[in-house]
Amino acid sequence: MTIKPLIILPDPVLRQVSKPIERVDADLQRLADDMLETMYDAPGIGLAAIQIGLPRRMLVIDLAKEGEEKQPLVFINPEIVSSSEDRSVYEEGCLSIPDYYAEVERPAKVTVKYLNREGKEQSVEADGLLATCLQHEIDHLNGVLFIDHISRLKRDMVIKKFTKAAKSKAL
Protein backbone atom coordinates (compact mmCIF):
# COMPACT_ATOMS: atom_id res chain seq x y z
CA MET A 1 0.00 0.00 0.00
CA THR A 2 1.16 3.49 -0.84
CA ILE A 3 0.40 6.78 0.85
CA LYS A 4 -0.50 9.30 -1.87
CA PRO A 5 0.04 13.07 -1.66
CA LEU A 6 -3.14 15.05 -0.98
CA ILE A 7 -4.41 17.78 -3.31
CA ILE A 8 -4.82 21.00 -1.30
CA LEU A 9 -6.99 24.06 -1.91
CA PRO A 10 -6.74 26.17 -4.16
CA ASP A 11 -5.65 23.43 -6.63
CA PRO A 12 -8.24 23.51 -9.47
CA VAL A 13 -8.16 19.68 -9.63
CA LEU A 14 -10.52 19.73 -6.62
CA ARG A 15 -13.18 21.35 -8.82
CA GLN A 16 -13.12 18.60 -11.46
CA VAL A 17 -16.16 16.36 -11.80
CA SER A 18 -15.08 12.73 -11.44
CA LYS A 19 -15.86 10.14 -14.10
CA PRO A 20 -17.72 6.87 -13.42
CA ILE A 21 -15.63 3.75 -12.96
CA GLU A 22 -16.17 1.25 -15.77
CA ARG A 23 -14.94 -1.93 -14.10
CA VAL A 24 -13.84 -3.16 -10.72
CA ASP A 25 -10.54 -5.04 -10.93
CA ALA A 26 -7.39 -5.71 -8.90
CA ASP A 27 -5.93 -2.29 -9.84
CA LEU A 28 -9.01 -0.54 -8.50
CA GLN A 29 -8.88 -2.59 -5.30
CA ARG A 30 -5.22 -1.59 -4.87
CA LEU A 31 -6.26 2.04 -5.36
CA ALA A 32 -8.91 1.60 -2.63
CA ASP A 33 -6.22 0.22 -0.29
CA ASP A 34 -3.90 3.14 -1.12
CA MET A 35 -6.73 5.61 -0.48
CA LEU A 36 -7.49 4.02 2.89
CA GLU A 37 -3.81 4.10 3.84
CA THR A 38 -3.60 7.78 2.79
CA MET A 39 -6.74 8.62 4.77
CA TYR A 40 -5.50 6.83 7.92
CA ASP A 41 -2.11 8.55 7.63
CA ALA A 42 -3.63 12.06 7.29
CA PRO A 43 -5.59 11.24 9.62
CA GLY A 44 -9.16 11.54 8.36
CA ILE A 45 -12.48 9.69 8.21
CA GLY A 46 -13.19 10.05 4.48
CA LEU A 47 -11.31 10.51 1.21
CA ALA A 48 -12.45 10.87 -2.39
CA ALA A 49 -10.18 9.78 -5.26
CA ILE A 50 -10.06 13.36 -6.60
CA GLN A 51 -8.28 14.37 -3.39
CA ILE A 52 -5.27 12.37 -4.56
CA GLY A 53 -5.60 13.73 -8.08
CA LEU A 54 -7.69 10.97 -9.66
CA PRO A 55 -11.03 12.16 -11.11
CA ARG A 56 -12.72 8.79 -10.60
CA ARG A 57 -15.99 8.19 -8.75
CA MET A 58 -14.67 6.35 -5.72
CA LEU A 59 -14.42 7.21 -2.05
CA VAL A 60 -13.42 5.54 1.18
CA ILE A 61 -14.72 6.09 4.71
CA ASP A 62 -13.85 4.74 8.14
CA LEU A 63 -15.71 6.16 11.13
CA ALA A 64 -14.00 3.95 13.74
CA LYS A 65 -12.70 6.00 16.64
CA GLU A 66 -9.09 5.87 17.75
CA GLY A 67 -8.44 2.60 19.56
CA GLU A 68 -11.38 0.84 17.87
CA GLU A 69 -10.92 -1.80 15.19
CA LYS A 70 -10.83 -0.26 11.70
CA GLN A 71 -14.07 -0.46 9.71
CA PRO A 72 -13.05 0.54 6.16
CA LEU A 73 -15.84 1.20 3.65
CA VAL A 74 -15.32 1.53 -0.11
CA PHE A 75 -17.92 3.22 -2.33
CA ILE A 76 -17.55 2.94 -6.11
CA ASN A 77 -19.82 5.13 -8.28
CA PRO A 78 -21.83 6.26 -5.22
CA GLU A 79 -25.09 8.05 -5.90
CA ILE A 80 -27.52 9.64 -3.45
CA VAL A 81 -30.92 8.26 -4.44
CA SER A 82 -32.92 9.91 -1.65
CA SER A 83 -32.43 12.36 1.17
CA SER A 84 -34.59 13.37 4.11
CA GLU A 85 -36.37 16.67 4.61
CA ASP A 86 -34.90 16.69 8.14
CA ARG A 87 -31.61 18.54 8.40
CA SER A 88 -28.62 18.16 10.68
CA VAL A 89 -25.59 20.34 11.33
CA TYR A 90 -22.07 18.98 11.78
CA GLU A 91 -18.77 20.74 12.11
CA GLU A 92 -16.93 19.55 9.00
CA GLY A 93 -13.30 19.60 8.05
CA CYS A 94 -11.48 18.35 4.97
CA LEU A 95 -8.08 16.82 4.29
CA SER A 96 -7.80 19.11 1.25
CA ILE A 97 -8.50 22.20 3.41
CA PRO A 98 -6.28 21.43 6.42
CA ASP A 99 -7.03 22.92 9.83
CA TYR A 100 -10.24 24.68 8.76
CA TYR A 101 -13.60 23.66 10.20
CA ALA A 102 -17.11 25.06 9.76
CA GLU A 103 -20.65 24.05 10.60
CA VAL A 104 -22.50 22.71 7.55
CA GLU A 105 -26.20 21.89 7.32
CA ARG A 106 -27.14 18.86 5.22
CA PRO A 107 -29.99 16.34 4.97
CA ALA A 108 -30.02 14.24 8.18
CA LYS A 109 -30.53 10.95 6.29
CA VAL A 110 -29.55 9.74 2.83
CA THR A 111 -29.87 6.55 0.84
CA VAL A 112 -26.82 5.85 -1.30
CA LYS A 113 -26.54 3.27 -4.05
CA TYR A 114 -22.99 2.14 -4.96
CA LEU A 115 -20.71 -0.74 -5.90
CA ASN A 116 -18.61 -2.32 -3.16
CA ARG A 117 -14.92 -3.23 -3.60
CA GLU A 118 -15.95 -6.53 -5.24
CA GLY A 119 -18.15 -4.69 -7.75
CA LYS A 120 -21.46 -5.82 -6.22
CA GLU A 121 -24.34 -3.33 -6.22
CA GLN A 122 -25.21 -2.18 -2.71
CA SER A 123 -27.43 0.35 -0.99
CA VAL A 124 -27.05 1.97 2.41
CA GLU A 125 -29.46 4.08 4.43
CA ALA A 126 -27.27 6.42 6.43
CA ASP A 127 -27.87 8.93 9.16
CA GLY A 128 -25.67 10.79 11.64
CA LEU A 129 -21.98 11.08 10.87
CA LEU A 130 -22.09 8.48 8.07
CA ALA A 131 -24.76 10.49 6.21
CA THR A 132 -22.71 13.69 6.58
CA CYS A 133 -19.49 11.98 5.51
CA LEU A 134 -21.09 10.36 2.46
CA GLN A 135 -22.57 13.69 1.33
CA HIS A 136 -19.24 15.47 1.90
CA GLU A 137 -17.26 12.89 -0.12
CA ILE A 138 -19.87 12.59 -2.91
CA ASP A 139 -19.73 16.39 -3.17
CA HIS A 140 -15.98 16.00 -3.87
CA LEU A 141 -16.80 13.69 -6.80
CA ASN A 142 -18.95 16.51 -8.22
CA GLY A 143 -16.29 19.21 -7.75
CA VAL A 144 -18.03 20.66 -4.69
CA LEU A 145 -16.21 21.47 -1.44
CA PHE A 146 -17.74 21.78 2.02
CA ILE A 147 -16.84 25.48 2.01
CA ASP A 148 -19.38 25.88 -0.82
CA HIS A 149 -22.05 25.28 1.85
CA ILE A 150 -20.97 28.18 4.09
CA SER A 151 -21.41 31.94 3.65
CA ARG A 152 -19.72 33.55 0.69
CA LEU A 153 -17.73 35.85 3.00
CA LYS A 154 -16.27 32.93 5.01
CA ARG A 155 -15.63 30.92 1.82
CA ASP A 156 -13.80 33.83 0.16
CA MET A 157 -11.64 34.28 3.27
CA VAL A 158 -10.68 30.60 3.30
CA ILE A 159 -9.87 30.56 -0.42
CA LYS A 160 -7.79 33.74 -0.06
CA LYS A 161 -5.86 32.26 2.88
CA PHE A 162 -5.05 29.01 1.03
CA THR A 163 -4.19 30.84 -2.22
CA LYS A 164 -1.75 33.06 -0.33
CA ALA A 165 -0.21 30.01 1.41
CA ALA A 166 0.18 28.20 -1.94
CA LYS A 167 1.90 31.24 -3.48
CA SER A 168 4.36 31.55 -0.58
CA LYS A 169 5.23 27.81 -0.92
CA ALA A 170 5.84 28.27 -4.65
CA LEU A 171 8.44 31.01 -4.02
Boundaries of domain holding 60 = 12-170
Q: Tens digit of pLDDT for each residue in 128-153?
A: 999 999 999 999 999 999 999 999 99
Tell which residue, 155, 160, 47, has the closest CA to residue 94.
47
Q: What is the mean pLDDT of residues 117-134?
A: 97
In a domain, 23, yes or no: yes
Is 55:14 a contact under the CB 8 Å cutoff?
A: no
In a domain, 7, yes or no: no
In a domain, 56, yes or no: yes
In a domain, 6, yes or no: no
Is 52:4 a contact under the CB 8 Å cutoff?
A: yes
User: Which residues are catalytically annotated?
Assistant: 137
In a domain, 18, yes or no: yes
Q: What is the pLDDT of residue 1?
A: 79
What is the total count of domains within the chain? 1
Question: DSSP 3-state helix, strand, coil percentages of the chain (rounded to 5)?
Answer: 35, 30, 35
User: Is the model's pLDDT at 170 over the cut of 90?
Assistant: no
The pLDDT confidence band at residue 68, using thresholds 50, 70 and 90, is very high
The pLDDT confidence band at residue 5, using thresholds 50, 70 and 90, is very high
In a domain, 151, yes or no: yes
Q: What is the CATH number of the domain that holds 144?
A: 3.90.45.10
Q: What is the pLDDT of residue 169?
A: 81
